[in-house]
C-alpha cells in the first residue's frame, strides 16, 4: 500500500474534457439518468479523490461499484480517455481504503481460492453438476442463472488437435477457467472451426486463469501473479496466435500481456483473417448478435463476428438495436449488483425480443449466461449460442 | 447551504425517496455541464413525469428556491449550472418517444429523449429529426429546445426553433400548459417561439412536438483540403456566393484535424492548413450536379485532395470525426474554453486571423472547428486547469475573441446560448432598453426569479469567468 489513490494516474484522469458524449453510451446512466452513474461523473469523482479536493467517502464507492466496466464509453470518447485503465486503478485504490465488506471480501476470496486454481474450479463444476441433477441449484438466484452443466471440456491427447486437411497455421488456444466448465460446447466448436481453417491447435499445459476476473475486481496483484505463471508456459511454446473465444479474457490478455503483443486474437478476429472453408450446409435461421463489451469496446472488434455470421448460407440476419450496449452481466457484476444488472437486462431483452431472431450469437460466457437466464424468465424460445457454435452449424 | 429538511421532505413526497439527492459529495458531481464553470446545486431531483416537474416547481415557488432544469449536461454555456444553488431538476428519466406520426411527419417526445435516438427510431419510417448538434449522441431534445441548439445541418434546415411545433411546459407557479400545436404558422401569440431558446429561464419543458423530415434519397459528402484557414474561408464565401446552400458546410483547422484523426482515422488530411466538409442532399441528379459545381468552386479556390464518401459507412465516419472534434481536443489539453460567436460569412477570413493573433499573443493554442457556412465560429482555447497561472490569459483571450466578432458586426452566440458564460457581454450588442424589454418578458413568466436565475442577463457584480478555482476541476462560478 502506497499513498492513497496512488494507482490512479492524474494524467489519465485529465484526458477527460467533461464534454458528456459518453453519457448515453453508459448502461447505468441510461437506466438511472444520473451523472453520478455515468463515466463522466465517475471520472469527476475519482479526480476529486486523487487530487484530494474531496474527502474519500465510502458511501460514494457505490458509484464505482455500479460501473459495469463494459468500456462502451471508451469507444465513443473522442478524447481517448483510457477509461478501462482508470476504473481498474480506481477500484484497486478504493479496495485499499474501504472497510472490508463481507460481500466483496467473500467474492475476492472465492476468486483467489477458486478461479486461480483450475483443479478447485473443476471440483466446483462437478459439485454444481451434481447439485443440478438433484435440483438444488434452483434455490438461489445465482444458481438459477447457471446453464445446465455438461461434461467438462477435455483437452485432446498430447495437448494438440491437428489441422483438418493441409496445415497452414499453428495456434495456441486459451482453455481458460470458466468456459471449459460452463460452455464446453463453445470450445469444441471453436476448435473444430480452427482445425477446418487449417490450424494445428496447441493447448498450453499448466495454463491457469488469465487474470481478467481478478483485474476487473480491483485485485491487480492477483492478476499479475497469474500473468507471470502463464507467461512461463507461453514462452515454452511456438505459435502464430493465441486464440481466445471469451472476449473478457482476450481483452485482458491484450492489455496485460505486453510480451504477447499482436499475437492474442479473438476467435472471430483470427478466423476473419485466415478465412474459413466453404460452408457445407444451409442454416435457415434468423440470427442476431449481441456485442460482448470486451470485444466491441475493449478490443474494437464489431465487424468480424457480424461478417462471419452473415457469410453463412441461409442466415437471415437482423441487427439488434443497441447491440453494443452491455447486457448487465459484466463478469461478477450480475452477482455483486443484481438489481442494477437486472434493470439493464430488461432494456436488453426488449431490444432482443423485438428482433424475432431464432438465435442470438454471443462471444463471451457472461453474456451467454445473462441472456439465457433473462430469456428463460420471459418464457422466450430464442436460443443463445456462442458465435463458434453458430458457425459450426454450417459444417 | 443545503435545502432545509422540510423542503427536501416535500420533494421526496413528490418524486420518491431515492429521486432526491442531497448529499454534499454527490452534489459536487453535478456542478458542471460541458462548459468550464461550476456551482453546486443544493439538491438534484429526478423527475419521471410532468406531474413530478409541476410538483417540484410548486415547492420551489412556495419556498422561492431556484430551479434549473437539466438534461444530459452537455451544454456549452453553463445553462445547466446552478449558479445560485437550488434544485437541479433532472429530466433524463423522461426518455420516452410518445408518438411518431409518419403521415403528419411529427413526433411527440419527452424532454430526456436523446437527439440521435429520435432520428434512429424515426429512420424506421424513413424520417429524421434535422437539428443535429455535435453532441447528439448524448444531448436531449429538451435541452436542445431550451437552448435553441443548432448543428452542422442547420445551415440548410434551420435551428431547433424551426422544428418545434409545440411544447408542454410548466410555468414558474407549477401550472402545466401546451403552447402552439400543429400549424406551421403558429396561431395567436407565438409563445412557443418565445420559449424555445429561453434557456430554462421562462419555463420547464415536459413534452416537445417536433417536425420530422423525409430522409433525402441521395446524400453526397465531400472533403477538401486547403493550404490555410484563409483560403478555406474564401472558398466558403465563393460556394455561397454562387447561390448554392449545401446541407452542411463545416471547417476544421490543422490542430483540430490532428486530434480528430488520432481517434477516428476517418482519412482527414493531417497536413492541410484547413479542411472543409461539405454535404449536399436531394435527388441523385441534384446531388450529382451540386457536387460537380461545388468541386469546381473549391478547386478554383485552392482546394485540393478532394474526395467524396463512397459508402454510408465512410460518410458516417467523416461525420463522427467532425462531431467528436471538440471532445477530441482533450488529446491536446485537458480543458477547452469555447465561444461560438457568429460573423457575416464575408468577414470569416478577417475574424479568423484575428482569433489566431489573439491566441499567439497569449501563447495559448487555439483549435478552430465550426459551421463555416453559417459564419458560426467555435474557437477553442486549449489549456490545463491544473495550471492556475494560465486562467487569467484564457479568460482575456476568450473575451478578446468575442470582442473581435462583435466589432465585425457579429453576434455573441450562434447556438450554444448565452447562459453563464456570455451574460456579461450582452451589453455589447444590446442597449439598456433592449435588455429592459427582455427583462420585462422574464418578469411576466417568472415574477419571483426562481427559474434558472443568473443566466442570460448581465449581472453587474459578476465578472465573466471567476478564477477562484476551488476544486481544480471547475472554475468556481460566483454571482455575488
Cβ–Cβ below 8 Å for B326 and A53: no
Residue B185 in domain? yes
Least confident of A89-98, B205-214, B442-451: A89-98
- Candidates A16, A24, A57; nearest CB to B138: A24
Please, what sign has the CA dihedral across residues A127, A130, A134, A135?
A: positive
- pLDDT, residue B392, reads 83
Residue B314 in domain? yes
Cβ–Cβ below 8 Å for A78 and B330: yes
Which of A97, A129, A145 delimits the end of a domain? A97
Is the model's pLDDT at B220 over the cut of 60? Answer: yes
- pLDDT, residue B53, reads 98
Which of B214, B244, B273 delimits the end of a domain? B214
- Candidates A41, A48, A81; nearest CB to B471: A48
Is the model's pLDDT at A145 over the cut of 90? Answer: no
Q: Compare all CA atoms of chain A with the CA of B38 and give the residue at the minimum distance.
A: A18
Give the CATH number of the domain where residue B302 resides. 3.30.70.2190
Which of A71, A97, A123 delimits the end of a domain? A97
Nearest chain B Cα distance for residue A81, angstroms: 8
- pLDDT, residue A146, reads 75
Cβ–Cβ below 8 Å for B326 and A17: yes
Which of B214, B240, B257 delimits the end of a domain? B214
Q: How far apart are CA B28 and CA B41, in angstroms?
A: 8
Would an 8 Å CB–CB cutoff place A78 in contact with chain B? yes
- pLDDT, residue A216, reads 79
**DSSP tally for chain B: helices H, then strands E:** 16, 20
Least confident of A209-223, B165-179, B390-404: A209-223
Is the model's pLDDT at A4 over the cut of 80? Answer: yes
Would an 8 Å CB–CB cutoff place A59 in contact with chain B? yes
Which of B313, B328, B343 delimits the end of a domain? B328
Q: What is the largest CA-CA distance in chain A?
A: 64
Residues of A in contact with B23 (CB under 8 A): 59
Structural domain count of chain B: 4
Whether B169 and B273 map to the same domain: the answer is no
Cβ–Cβ below 8 Å for B34 and A19: yes
Please report, rounded to a whole number, the percentage of residues in chain B having pLDDT higher than 90: 82
- pLDDT, residue A322, reads 93
Q: Compare all CA atoms of chain B with the CA of A33 and give the residue at the minimum distance.
A: B92
Whether B155 and B79 map to the same domain: the answer is no
Cβ–Cβ below 8 Å for A33 and B112: yes
- Candidates A24, A41, A81; nearest CB to B137: A24
CB hemisphere CA count around B73 (13 angstroms): 31
Q: Sorting pLDDT into bands at 50, 70 and 90, what band is B225?
A: very high
Best mutation target, B24, B25, B46, to test chain A (most A CBs within 10 A): B25
As given in the structure block, the three cell numbers for residue B309 are 464518401
Give the CATH number of the domain where residue B75 resides. 3.30.43.10
- pLDDT, residue A328, reads 95
Best mutation target, A16, A18, A46, A75, to test chain B (most B CBs within 10 A): A18
Report the pLDDT averaged over residues B286-293. 96
Q: Sorting pLDDT into bands at 50, 70 and 90, what band is B468?
A: very low
Would an 8 Å CB–CB cutoff place A53 in contact with chain B? yes
Is the model's pLDDT at B463 over the cut of 60? Answer: no
Cβ–Cβ below 8 Å for B327 and A79: yes
Residue A299 in domain? yes
Residue A70 in domain? yes
Report the pLDDT averaged over residues B98-120. 97
Is the model's pLDDT at B61 over the cut of 70? Answer: yes
Residue B229 in domain? yes
Best mutation target, A14, A16, A19, to test chain B (most B CBs within 10 A): A19
Q: Compare all CA atoms of chain A with the CA of B322 and give the residue at the minimum distance.
A: A78
Closest CA to B67 of B90, B98, B34, B39: B90
Would an 8 Å CB–CB cutoff place A18 in contact with chain B? yes
Residues of B in contact with A74 (CB under 8 A): none
Average pLDDT over chain A reads 90
Nearest chain B Cα distance for residue A22, angstroms: 7
Residues of A in contact with B139 (CB under 8 A): 20
Nearest chain A Cα distance for residue B35, angstroms: 8
Q: Compare all CA atoms of chain A with the CA of B137 and give the residue at the minimum distance.
A: A21
Residue A111 in domain? no
Nearest chain B Cα distance for residue A291, angstroms: 19
B214 backbone dihedrals φ, ψ, rounded to 5°: -75, 135
Q: How far apart are CA B151 and CA B171, in angstroms?
A: 28
pLDDT: is A99 or B143 the higher one? B143
Report the pLDDT averaged over residues A141-153. 74
- pLDDT, residue A2, reads 52
- pLDDT, residue A123, reads 72
Q: Sorting pLDDT into bands at 50, 70 and 90, what band is A377?
A: very high
pLDDT in tens, B250-283: 999 999 999 999 989 999 999 999 999 999 999 9
Enclosing domain of residue B80: 5-92
Give the CATH number of the domain where residue A29 resides. 1.10.1060.10
Q: Sorting pLDDT into bands at 50, 70 and 90, what band is B448?
A: very high
- pLDDT, residue B305, reads 94
Q: Compare all CA atoms of chain A with the CA of B116 and give the residue at the minimum distance.
A: A24
Whether B29 and B52 map to the same domain: the answer is yes
Please report, rounded to a whole number, the percentage of residues in chain B having pLDDT higher than 70: 95
- pLDDT, residue B474, reads 62
- pLDDT, residue A117, reads 61
Q: Compare all CA atoms of chain B with the CA of A77 and give the residue at the minimum distance.
A: B327
Residue A28 in domain? yes
Give the CATH number of the domain where residue B358 resides. 3.30.70.2740
Cβ–Cβ below 8 Å for B72 and A20: yes
Residue A263 in domain? no
Please report, rounded to a whole number, the percentage of residues in chain A having pLDDT higher than 90: 71
One-letter-per-residue 3-state SS of chain A: CCCCCCCCCHHHHHCCCCCCCCHHHCHHHHHHCCHHHCHHHHHHHHHHHHHCCCCCCHHHHHHHHCCCCCCHHHHHCCCCCCHHHHHHHHHHHHHHHCCCCHHHHHHHHHHHHHHCCHHHHHHHHHHHHHHHHCCCHHHCHHHHHCCCCCCCCCCCHHHEECCCCCCCEEEEECCCCCHHHHCHHHHHHHHHHHHHCCEEEECCCCCCCCCHHHHHCCCHHHHHHHHHHHHHHHHCCCCCEEEECCHHHHHHHHHHCHHHCCCEEEHHHHHHHHCCCCCCCCCCEEEEECCCHHHHCCCCCCHHHHHHHHCCCCEEECCCCCCCCCCCCCCCHHHHCHHHHHHHHHHHHHHHHCCCCCEEEECCHHHHHHHHHHHHHCCCCCEEEEHHHHHHCCC
Whether B127 and B34 map to the same domain: the answer is no
Please report, rounded to a whole number, the percentage of residues in chain A having pLDDT higher than 70: 89
Whether B251 and B318 map to the same domain: the answer is yes
Least confident of A88-92, A143-147, B113-117, B217-221: A143-147
Report the pLDDT averaged over residues A191-216. 92
Would an 8 Å CB–CB cutoff place A339 in contact with chain B? no
Residue B32 in domain? yes
Residue B456 in domain? no
Helices B312-323 and B254-264 sit at what angle, rounded to 10 degrees? 120
Is the model's pLDDT at B442 over the cut of 80? Answer: yes
Report the pLDDT averaged over residues A320-344. 92
Report the pLDDT averaged over residues B284-311. 96
Would an 8 Å CB–CB cutoff place A34 in contact with chain B? yes
pLDDT: is B465 or B413 the higher one? B413
Would an 8 Å CB–CB cutoff place A189 in contact with chain B? no
- pLDDT, residue B470, reads 41
Residues of A in contact with B36 (CB under 8 A): 18
Whether B209 and B241 map to the same domain: the answer is no
Enclosing domain of residue A376: 285-392
Would an 8 Å CB–CB cutoff place A330 in contact with chain B? no
Report the pLDDT averaged over residues A65-83. 92
- Candidates B25, B29, B472; nearest CB to A35: B29
Residue B167 in domain? yes
- pLDDT, residue A118, reads 58
Cβ–Cβ below 8 Å for B471 and A54: yes
Is the model's pLDDT at B192 over the cut of 70? Answer: yes
Q: Sorting pLDDT into bands at 50, 70 and 90, what band is A105?
A: low
Cβ–Cβ below 8 Å for A17 and B330: yes
Cβ–Cβ below 8 Å for B473 and A57: no
pLDDT in tens, B154-164: 999 999 999 99
- pLDDT, residue A217, reads 75
Residues of B in contact with A18 (CB under 8 A): 32, 34, 36
Q: Sorting pLDDT into bands at 50, 70 and 90, what band is A68?
A: very high
Name B226's bridge partners. B274
Whether B343 and B387 map to the same domain: the answer is yes
- pLDDT, residue B418, reads 94
Q: Sorting pLDDT into bands at 50, 70 and 90, what band is B37?
A: confident
Question: Which residues, other chains included, contact B279 with Cβ-Cβ below 8 Å and sequence gap of 6+?
Answer: B152, B153, B219, B220, B221, B222, B246, B247, B248, B249
Q: Compare all CA atoms of chain A with the CA of B117 and give the residue at the minimum distance.
A: A24
Is the model's pLDDT at B109 over the cut of 80? Answer: yes
Structural domain count of chain A: 2
Which of A44, A74, A97 delimits the end of a domain? A97
- pLDDT, residue B471, reads 45
Give the CATH number of the domain where residue A377 resides. 3.40.50
Least confident of A213-217, A338-342, B254-258, B372-376: A213-217
Long-range contacts for B46-49 (Cβ within 8 Å, ≥24 apart)? B46/A33, B46/A34, B46/B15, B46/B19, B46/B20, B46/B21, B46/B90, B46/B92, B46/B93, B47/B15, B47/B19, B47/B89, B47/B90, B47/B91, B47/B93, B47/B94, B48/B15, B48/B19, B48/B93, B48/B94, B49/B94
Cβ–Cβ below 8 Å for B25 and A57: yes
- Candidates B74, B327, B384; nearest CB to A78: B327
Whether B71 and B114 map to the same domain: the answer is no
Q: Compare all CA atoms of chain B with the CA of A46 and give the residue at the minimum distance.
A: B29
Report the pLDDT averaged over residues B62-76. 97
pLDDT in tens, A248-280: 999 999 999 999 989 999 999 999 999 999 998
Residue B448 in domain? no
Residue B315 in domain? yes
Is the model's pLDDT at B478 over the cut of 60? Answer: no
Cβ–Cβ below 8 Å for B327 and A17: yes
Q: Sorting pLDDT into bands at 50, 70 and 90, what band is A295?
A: very high
Cβ–Cβ below 8 Å for B46 and A53: no
Amino acid at each position: 500500500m502506497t499513498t492513497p489513490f496512488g494507482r490512479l494516474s492524474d494524467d489519465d484522469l485529465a484526458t477527460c474534457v467533461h464534454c458528456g458524449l459518453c453519457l448515453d453510451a453508459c448502461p447505468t446512466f441510461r437506466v438511472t439518468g444520473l451523472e453520478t452513474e455515468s463515466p463522466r461523473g465517475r471520472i469527476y469523482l475519482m479526480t476529486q479523490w486523487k487530487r484530494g479536493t474531496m474527502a474519500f467517502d465510502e458511501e460514494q464507492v457505490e458509484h464505482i461499484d455500479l460501473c459495469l466496466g463494459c468500456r462502451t464509453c471508451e469507444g465513443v470518447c473522442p478524447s481517448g480517455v483510457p477509461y478501462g485503465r482508470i476504473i481498474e486503478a480506481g477500484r484497486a485504490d478504493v479496495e485499499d481504503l474501504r472497510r472490508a465488506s463481507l460481500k466483496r471480501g467473500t467474492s475476492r476470496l472465492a476468486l483467489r481460492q477458486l478461479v486461480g486454481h483450475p483443479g478447485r474450479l473443476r471440483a466446483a463444476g462437478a459439485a454444481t453438476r451434481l447439485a443440478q441433477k438433484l435440483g438444488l441449484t434452483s434455490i438461489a438466484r445465482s444458481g438459477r442463472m447457471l446453464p445446465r452443466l455438461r461434461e467438462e471440456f477435455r483437452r485432446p491427447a498430447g495437448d494438440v488437435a491437428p489441422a483438418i486437411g493441409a496445415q497452414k497455421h499453428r495456434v495456441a488456444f486459451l482453455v481458460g477457467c470458466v468456459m471449459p466448465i460452463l460452455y464446453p460446447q463453445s470450445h469444441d466448436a471453436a476448435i473444430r472451426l480452427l482445425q477446418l481453417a487449417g490450424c494445428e491447435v496447441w493447448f498450453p499445459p499448466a495454463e491457469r486463469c488469465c487474470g481478467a476476473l481478478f483485474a476487473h475486481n480491483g485485485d491487480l496483484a492477483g492478476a499479475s501473479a497469474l500473468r507471470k505463471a502463464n507467461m512461463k508456459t507461453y514462452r515454452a511454446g511456438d505459435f502464430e496466435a493465441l486464440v481466445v473465444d471469451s472476449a473478457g479474457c482476450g481483452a485482458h490478455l491484450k492489455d496485460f500481456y505486453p510480451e504477447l503483443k499482436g499475437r492474442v486474437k479473438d476467435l472471430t478476429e483470427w478466423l476473419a483473417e485466415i478465412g474459413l472453408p466453404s460452408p457445407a450446409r444451409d442454416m435457415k435461421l434468423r440470427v442476431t448478435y449481441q456485442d460482448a463489451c470486451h470485444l466491441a469496446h475493449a478490443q474494437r472488434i464489431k465487424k468480424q463476428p457480424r461478417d462471419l455470421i452473415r457469410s453463412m448460407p441461409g442466415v437471415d440476419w437482423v441487427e439488434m438495436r443497441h447491440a453494443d450496449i452491455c447486457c448487465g452481466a459484466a463478469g461478477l457484476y450480475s452477482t455483486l449488483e443484481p438489481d442494477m444488472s437486472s434493470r439493464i437486462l430488461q432494456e436488453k431483452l426488449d431490444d432482443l425480443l423485438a428482433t424475432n431472431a431464432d438465435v442470438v450469437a454471443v462471444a463471451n460466457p457472461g453474456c451467454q449466461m445473462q441472456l439465457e437466464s433473462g430469456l428463460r424468465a420471459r418464457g422466450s424460445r430464442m436460443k443463445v449460442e456462442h458465435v463458434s457454435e453458430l458457425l459450426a452449424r454450417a459444417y | 447551504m443545503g435545502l432545509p429538511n422540510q423542503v427536501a421532505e416535500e420533494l421526496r413526497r413528490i418524486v420518491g425517496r431515492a429521486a432526491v439527492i442531497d448529499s454534499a459529495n454527490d452534489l459536487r458531481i453535478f456542478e458542471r455541464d460541458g462548459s468550464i464553470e461550476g456551482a453546486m446545486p443544493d439538491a438534484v431531483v429526478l423527475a419521471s413525469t410532468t406531474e413530478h416537474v409541476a410538483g417540484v416547481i410548486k415547492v420551489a415557488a412556495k419556498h422561492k428556491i431556484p430551479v434549473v432544469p437539466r438534461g444530459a449536461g452537455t451544454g456549452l454555456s453553463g445553462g445547466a449550472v446552478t449558479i445560485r444553488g437550488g434544485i437541479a431538476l433532472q429530466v433524463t428519466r423522461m426518455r420516452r418517444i410518445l408518438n411518431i406520426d409518419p403521415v403528419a411527419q411529427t413526433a411527440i417526445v419527452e424532454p430526456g429523449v436523446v437527439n440521435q435516438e429520435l432520428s434512429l427510431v424515426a429512420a424506421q419510417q424513413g424520417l429524421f429529426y434535422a437539428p443535429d448538434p455535435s453532441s447528439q449522441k448524448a444531448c436531449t431534445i429538451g435541452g436542445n429546445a431550451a437552448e435553441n441548439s443548432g448543428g452542422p445541418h442547420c445551415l440548410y434546415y434551420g435551428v431547433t426553433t424551426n422544428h418545434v411545433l409545440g411544447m408542454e411546459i410548466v410555468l414558474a407557479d407549477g401550472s402545466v400548459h401546451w403552447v402552439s400545436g400543429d400549424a406551421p404558422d403558429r396561431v395567436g401569440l407565438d409563445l412557443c417561439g418565445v420559449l424555445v431558446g429561453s434557456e430554462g429561464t421562462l419555463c420547464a419543458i415536459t413534452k416537445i412536438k417536433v417536425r420530422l423530415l423525409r430522409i433525402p434519397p441521395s446524400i453526397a459528402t465531400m472533403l477538401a483540403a486547403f493550404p490555410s484557414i484563409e483560403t478555406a474561408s474564401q472558398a466558403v464565401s465563393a460556394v455561397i456566393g454562387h447561390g448554392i446552400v449545401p446541407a452542411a458546410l463545416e471547417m476544421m483547422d490543422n490542430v483540430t484535424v490532428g486530434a480528430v484523426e488520432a481517434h477516428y482515422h476517418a482519412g482527414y488530411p493531417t497536413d492541410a492548413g484547413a479542411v472543409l466538409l461539405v454535404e449536399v442532399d436531394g435527388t441523385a441528379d441534384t446531388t450529382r450536379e451540386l457536387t460537380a459545381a461545388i468541386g469546381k468552386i473549391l478547386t478554383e479556390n485552392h482546394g485540393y485532395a478532394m474526395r467524396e464518401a463512397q459508402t454510408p459507412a465512410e460518410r458516417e465516419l467523416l461525420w463522427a470525426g467532425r462531431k467528436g472534434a471538440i471532445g477530441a481536443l482533450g488529446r491536446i489539453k485537458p480543458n477547452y474554453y469555447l465561444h461560438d460567436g457568429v460573423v457575416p460569412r464575408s468577414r470569416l477570413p478577417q475574424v479568423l486571423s484575428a482569433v489566431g493573433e489573439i491566441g499567439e499573443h497569449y501563447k495559448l493554442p487555439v483549435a478552430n472547428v465550426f459551421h463555416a457556412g453559417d459564419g458560426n465560429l467555435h474557437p477553442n482555447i486549449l489549456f490545463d486547469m491544473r495550471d492556475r497561472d494560465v486562467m487569467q490569459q484564457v479568460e482575456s483571450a476568450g473575451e478578446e475573441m468575442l470582442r473581435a466578432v462583435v466589432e465585425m458586426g457579429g453576434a455573441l452566440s450562434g447556438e450554444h446560448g448565452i447562459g453563464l458564460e456570455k451574460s456579461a457581454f450582452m451589453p455589447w450588442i444590446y442597449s439598456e432598453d433592449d435588455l429592459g424589454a427582455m427583462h420585462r418578458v422574464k418578469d411576466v413568466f417568472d415574477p419571483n426569479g426562481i427559474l434558472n436565475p443568473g443566466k442570460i442577463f448581465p449581472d453587474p457584480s459578476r465578472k465573466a469567468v471567476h478564477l477562484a478555482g476551488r476544486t481544480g476541476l471547475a472554475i468556481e462560478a460566483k454571482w455575488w
